[in-house]
Chain A
């Protein structure tokens, strides 16, 4: 029952909801849908030029054109980026959450510190790591020297991509950790007490009590990090701008659409966005199915 009056007052909630709804439809949902349409045209950024439907030409161009090797590497990079980020970020996030969930001196300070990079944002975090990884004078170079080795870090064709992954995990581990901690705090203490009587402690307690109980947090973290990792490109933009074999699908979409202003290719960029969406969709559905089934099994 709606308590706030009848008649015209009854429509106030909907009227106010229409503002965010309209913004969402016009600037987010609508454009997302229109991407499908754009991907089948030869639209460019040049004003006054007529568009035509070109069928699957953009998709063909994306996969089989002269820069095929680069394009395929972008796709492979996207998948590798997502896989490594999801696995490592959540593993460390969960590990740290379990560690900090127990009484530990100064735990609030540790949590706040691990979350700090999210607050600093991608520009600040990215530039800080460009300083740290400066091959000429950065401290990481000195650290490597101590171990008798060296690297060009973000200017290395082999390693730059993995340093970006490292920075990405550095930035968002605290976010995963925070979600895991909230999950851990919702577990009733007496579960562990009764588990203890049954001989479940240490690893066993984690395996049979903790891990099943935080299934919702695992689901949220996995999905958020899969989607985030596949769609992110601002960190790459800040660290290498796609140089040194660090392009991904998401960065390519941006570059095709905007970055090369004179040759902006809306059709090609949209086709890239659709391929990226296909990955996001497939992984989300598969993981949602697997994780939900695990939640129900309890």
Chain B
């Protein structure tokens, strides 16, 4: 389609403006992270004088991040792996109608989106079951096979030909082996997105740990950053370093798999 010059200019102008709205805050974050406290106080929004990567080490030590970060790594890896596995266990038979009432179960799982907040009874139950303020308890509460990854798997598996199942079964492949050896590699595009969205949810969770993990030695990095924030309220350079340290792992992960995301794996499969 031919396009007039003025409308092309308009489009680039809009995109450039939006880019500023998104990139400038992050650049500002980096800018502040590279300053000393004095430099920041003298000129809070001026450009930093030199790279001071040592600031990261200072923030890491003063915020006691090494303690928090292992909790985050533990929670994120375990609950993401478990949730993805359970999502496959749930999505495959439902997409294929290998269990009775598949559609009803699907509807039942998606209902949680609309239902009343389970917060109060869940908290009560967790206390009764001894899950409160334990690492396993928190991970158990965060694990589920019915979230966004499940929805995406169902949508994707439906698009995979059922003849594959039959051919594999003919060759003597069992149900579990099929899931792990054949289905798993097959769903890679949605797997990447599913893993990332699930991991984002756990890594960034701030409310969950606030409710369920009162002991600081069990708390993840989000709580650590928040505590750090309260403690060094005016030391913005240190805080900026802390924020960047927390954001880094997911941003790195994201840079590797964002092409899957944009391919629409996320969107195409979220259907009601």
Contact = CB atoms under 8 A, between A and B. Distances in A.
Contacts of B118: 27-32, 34-35
A119 B125 CA distance: 31
Contact of A30 (B105, B121, B206): B121
Contacts of A122: 204, 206
Query: Which of A24, A30, A96, A269 counts the most chain B CB atoms within 10 A?
Result: A24
Given A99-B11, A178-B264, A237-B207, A32 B112 contact: yes
Interface stretch (B51-59, B61-69, B184-192, B238-246): B238-246
Contacts of B160: none
B80 interface: no
Interface string B209-253: 011000000000010011001000000100110010011001100
A contacts with B: majority SS? helix
Interface string B249-272: 011001000110110101110111
Interface residues on A, range: 35 or more
Contacts of A102: 3, 11
A128 interface: yes
A30 B114 CA distance: 14
Interface string B14-53: 1100110111111011001000000011001100000000
B136 interface: no
Given A119-B250, A220-B270, A254-B207, A21 B119 contact: no
Contacts of B81: none
B9 interface: no
Nearest to A95: B14
25 contacts: A3-B165, A4-B178, A17-B90, A28-B144, A35-B120, A38-B120, A99-B14, A104-B12, A108-B259, A113-B22, A116-B22, A123-B225, A128-B26, A128-B29, A131-B25, A170-B21, A170-B22, A182-B266, A196-B1, A234-B207, A250-B117, A257-B123, A273-B116, A273-B117, A273-B120
Given A17-B105, A37-B121, A110-B15, 5 more contacts: A9-B174, A30-B118, A30-B125, A277-B115, A277-B117
